[in-house]
Structure formats: structure tokens, C-alpha cells
Amino acid sequence: MDITELTVHELQEKLKNKELTSYDITKAYVKRIEEKEKDVQAFVTELGNEALEKASEIDEERKSGEVGNFTGIPIGIKDNICTKGVKTTCSSKMLENFVSPYDATVVEKLNDEKMINLGKLNMDEFAMGGSTEYSYFKKTRNPWNLNRVPGGSSGGSAAAVAANMVPWALGSDTGGSIRQPASFCGVVGLKPTYGLVSRYGLVAFASSLDQIGPITKDVYDSAMLLNIIAGHDEKDTTSREMEKKDYTKALKNDVKGLKIGVPKEFFGEGINEEVKEKLEEAIKTYKELGAEIEEFSLDIAKYSLATYYIIACAEASSNLGRFDGIRYGYRAKEFKDLKDLYRKSRSEGFGPEVKRRIILGTYVLSSGYYDAYYKKAQQVRTLVMNEFDKAFKKYDVILTPTSPTVAFDIGSKSNNPLEMYLADICTVSVNIAGLPGISIPCGVDKSNMPIGMQLIGNKFQEETILNAAYTFEQKIKFRENYKPTFRKEEE
């Protein structure tokens, strides 16, 4: 048995009936990371030794009595989620040596469950990007083809899950940063409704869009990890007070009568033919499973993308104002005075994409352009929400591709920012409207690269999309049929 092939719910079983110890599991993952990290480059900080030590302690505890369901289960964490005593770099030179003095609320929740942190995972700098190529430290590679990107910005998280280097991981999603890499790497990525999961301790990119969520091997694990991280937090005033749910209870393996809307604009221009084909097969599968499918018009994708980049960059330009080289982060070595210190530290500490977005954000907020861009974008935000509201009066779930293409070649888009932005066209509207969205694999193309399907739900209706995803997954059994090959083409 290869321990690292197992899902978390399978690991739980084996822990419970004493087939495995936490040490066995952790050791298997540490070994796997040793083998695969040179190819995949998913980690910014590895915590193998610490993890093994903690696993031994936990096994001792297990001998002497009852432990929780997730005690001793390892996990990987995106490197923009604060971990006390362990570096949180956001894959930026700016935070290369930053050690958070506190844990993010989601990390506290993992610690309360006595889970084991295997390390911090690579990402696009400050979560700005769709390929993880904008990391200051390294380029993560796609386990299905090492010449391709893993997607981004949670590329380290998705690649590590796909490569069995962690059993599951946390990512963050501002415009698709969980769902798109999950799609590129053939794993399951869930962006929860805005306000379901606390953002306290998530280094802010665009505060009105950011949300933390699970990246997992299957839908059941996704529901379990959501159970752990969801919930109101007084430290995040945008988190919603609501009753605690058990999302695994929603997984019924039944979609009879479920109303699925398919917006035709998401299947038009720019969508790769093989992606379209697989999505059409998925729609057919849903029909066979008894769901009611209807095509409809949701003509917001192109407005959404422009709106997204205006709002996200505007918020980023403000959020990233705090990095000034005074209290933490990079400080330039040479400067004339305080102002010069700010300017040089920021210019040397941020990478080109981050600077580009700060400049764009500052531009759209500056006097003379505020009305034409920022205010207009906020109105479009209302339009997008209204259109989704209308759609959810008719449908339970909206089905789209997660990304217009499969994972692209490393280096093919990194010099063309606008082309990179266009890769987010299917995912951003979900963040703009604050809705939940899940990406699950629905097949592979001719070159054996995974294709992702996105299911969007109404606010706080995670149960509906999780059940729809689960039912599909049980039918097509993607993980049994397709595996990453770590192949490398000659360069």
C-alpha cells in the first residue's frame, strides 16, 4: 500500500483501526517530498523534521486515550497564511524572512485538531498571478507534465496535492487562485462563499474578494476540511455568524431533479475545443444521473474580468501600502531619508507583477480616473450580482469550465500580463459576487492534461455544489482512471 495515494478519509479509517500510526503517515509524506520536490518545487518551507517529531508525540497521546478525528493528519499550507514561528513569505522578497507573531484563525483551527503542518507552499508573489511563475523563490511545476505550469496563485498547494506530497492543503482564492490550479493539476479546489471562512491571518491581497479554501484529492475531503475551517471569527468582521454545518452530510450521491444552468457565454470564444468537449460529456453525465440541464445566457464574463482587475488592483494598492520597510519586511540597504527608504524598500522588495498591479490600482483610484474605472467597476459588480441572483432563482447550480484551457507551458505567458489575466475569465465573476465555486476534474485532453469543471452555487449553498461534485466524481472516478506521470519533455 502506498500511504500517500490515500485520501484523508481513508487515512482516518486506517488510523482508527490501528493499521497505521501518525508517524507512518507523516514519514511516508516526508519521504515522498524528498523524492518529488526536486521535480515539482512546491514548497517554500519544508517542515519534515518538526512534523515527524509532532507525529511521534501524537502517537504517544493516542496510546493513552481518545483523540480527535483529525489528530495526527498532515497538511500543507499556502505561504500567505500566517503560521506562528514559521516563515510566511507570500513568495516575495519583501517577506523573505518574515515570521508571523500569531497564527491565522484557520491555522488555529488546524492546530486545535492537532493536525501536522508539513510545510508552506509556493505561490505567485502576494497571490498575484495564475501560474506560480511570479514566485520570487522558484517556479512550481505541474506533476502531469513538468514543462507546464501548475496554475496559480495556489500552484504549490495544488501541485503538492496532485503529486501526493501532502494529503491535502489550504489555498486562497481572490479571482480563481484555488479553482484554476486545482483544474490544471487534476484535483478538487473549493472557494467558499465570501464570509464563510475567516480571513484573519491571510495576508490581504483584495480584501473584498479573498477567501481561504481547501485543495484536496476528492470531494469528501473537501467537505471535511471545510468543516474544520468554516465559522464566524470576531477577528474578521466580514465573517458571517451562522450555524455550524457538517458538509459531509450533504454528499448524497444523488442529483435527481437538481437544476443545473449552463451559461452559453462561458462556452464560446477562447474556450479550447477539447475543454468544451469534456464539459459537454460532463453535462451528458449529469443528464444521465437525473439532473435537469438548461442552457441560458449569463453575459457577464467579459465585464467581470475587467471589473475584477480594477477592483482587485485598487484594493491591492491600498493593502500593500503597509509594506514600507519599517516594522517588518525588506528594507533597502541605502537610502537618503525616510521617504527614500519607503520608496527603495518597496521598489526592491516587490516583483514586477506586484508593482504592475499596485500601479494599475493607484491609477484607477487616482483623481480623474476614479469615476471612469473604479466607480464603474463597482456598478458592474452590482450588475454581476443581480445577474447571478436572477440565475439562482431558476437554477441550483451553474456549470462552466474552470479555465478556458489546460495547463500551459512554463514561460508561455509570463511576459504578457493581459494574456495571463484572460486565463481567469471563467472564475473571477464568482469572487465578484461572493459566491461559492468548486473545481473538479472531468477528464483529460489528448496529451493527458486534466480538464476542470466549475460548479457555482448560491451564497452559503456549499452543500449543493459539494453534492453535485461528489455525485459526478462517484460516477466518473477520475482518480482511479488518471494519474500524473511527472513526464518531462526535452527542452
Partner 1 sequence: MQVSKEELLHIAKLADLEINENEIDNYLANLEDILNFANIVNNAPVEGLNITIGANEAKNVFRKDEIKVFKDNDSLLQNAPDEAQHMFRIPKVIE
242 scored as a contact of partner 1 (CB under 8 A):
no
Report residue 180 as a C-alpha cell: 484554476
Which residues face 294 on adjacent strands?
Answer: 261
Question: Which of 253, 386, 447, 485: binder of partner 1 (CB under 8 A)?
Answer: 386
Strand ranges (DSSP E) for 149-193? 168-173, 188-191
52 scored as a contact of partner 1 (CB under 8 A):
no
Number of residues that bind partner 1 (CB under 8 A): 71
**Interaction with partner 1 in 392-421: which residues (CB under 8 A)?**
417-418, 421
Question: Which of 191, 199, 217, 344: binder of partner 1 (CB under 8 A)?
Answer: 344
Q: Phi and psi of 245, rounded to 5°?
A: -115, 160
Give 295's contacts (C-beta < 8 A, 6+ positions apart).
Answer: 261, 262, 263, 264
Question: Which of 9, 27, 331, 475: binder of partner 1 (CB under 8 A)?
Answer: 331
Contact 431, 174 (CB under 8 A): yes
Q: Which is nearer to partner 1, 315 or 473 (CB)?
A: 315
Q: From the CB of 293, what's the least distance to partner 1, in Å?
A: 27
Q: From the CB of 193, what's the least distance to partner 1, in Å?
A: 8
**Interaction with partner 1 in 59-118: which residues (CB under 8 A)?**
84, 97-99, 101
Q: Which is nearer to partner 1, 363 or 482 (CB)?
A: 363
Q: From the CB of 5, what's the least distance to partner 1, in Å?
A: 37
Name the nearest CA neighbour of 444 among 216, 272, 263.
Answer: 272
Q: From the CB of 195, what's the least distance to partner 1, in Å?
A: 5
297 scored as a contact of partner 1 (CB under 8 A):
no
Q: From the CB of 345, what's the least distance to partner 1, in Å?
A: 8
Q: Is 75 left (phi over 0), alpha (psi -120 to 50) or beta?
A: beta
Name the nearest CA neighbour of 12 among 51, 53, 62.
Answer: 62
Name the nearest CA neighbour of 121 among 77, 161, 73.
Answer: 77
Q: From the CB of 139, what's the least distance to partner 1, in Å?
A: 21
The secondary structure element, H or E, covering residue 26 is helix 22-40
Question: Which of 66, 243, 269, 337: binder of partner 1 (CB under 8 A)?
Answer: 337
257 scored as a contact of partner 1 (CB under 8 A):
no
How far from each other are the two terminal CA atoms of the chain, in whole angstroms?
A: 35
**Interaction with partner 1 in 420-449: which residues (CB under 8 A)?**
421, 431-434
366 scored as a contact of partner 1 (CB under 8 A):
yes
Which amino acid makes up residue 470? Answer: Y
Helices (H) and strands (E) in the chain, counts: 16, 11
CA distances from 413 to 5, 148, 420 (A): 32, 11, 6
Question: Which of 200, 350, 392, 408: binder of partner 1 (CB under 8 A)?
Answer: 350
Q: From the CB of 362, what's the least distance to partner 1, in Å?
A: 4
Question: Which of 60, 253, 372, 481: binder of partner 1 (CB under 8 A)?
Answer: 372
370 scored as a contact of partner 1 (CB under 8 A):
no
Q: What is the DSSP string of 422-440?
A: HTTTTTHHHHHHT--EEEE
Q: Which is nearer to partner 1, 40 or 358 (CB)?
A: 358
Stretch that binds partner 1, among 122-130, 150-158, 359-367, 397-405 (CB under 8 A): 359-367
Give 435's contacts (C-beta < 8 A, 6+ positions apart).
Answer: 193, 194, 388, 456, 457, 458, 459
**Interaction with partner 1 in 163-202: which residues (CB under 8 A)?**
194-195
Which residues face 230 on adjacent strands?
Answer: 197
Alpha carbon distance 480, 119 (integer Å): 27
Among 131, 135, 157, 177, the one annotated catalytic: 177
Contact 105, 200 (CB under 8 A): yes
259 scored as a contact of partner 1 (CB under 8 A):
no
Distance of CA 268 to the CA centre of its chain: 25
Question: Which of 170, 360, 426, 469: binder of partner 1 (CB under 8 A)?
Answer: 360
329 scored as a contact of partner 1 (CB under 8 A):
yes
Give 383's contacts (C-beta < 8 A, 6+ positions apart).
Answer: 300, 303
Alpha carbon distance 429, 381 (integer Å): 9
Active site residue 135: no
Q: From the CB of 255, what's the least distance to partner 1, in Å?
A: 27
Question: Which of 56, 111, 147, 362: binder of partner 1 (CB under 8 A)?
Answer: 362
245 scored as a contact of partner 1 (CB under 8 A):
no
Stretch that binds partner 1, among 106-114, 115-123, 233-241, 258-266 (CB under 8 A): 233-241
- In this structure, is the dihedral angle defined by the CA atoms of residues 442, 444, 449 and 451, taken in order, positive or negative? negative
Q: From the CB of 20, what's the least distance to partner 1, in Å?
A: 36
134 scored as a contact of partner 1 (CB under 8 A):
no
Active site residue 475: no
Instruction: Work out the widest C-alpha separation in the chain, in whole angstroms.
Output: 70
Active site residue 177: yes
Please identify every residue annotated as catalytic: 78, 153, 177
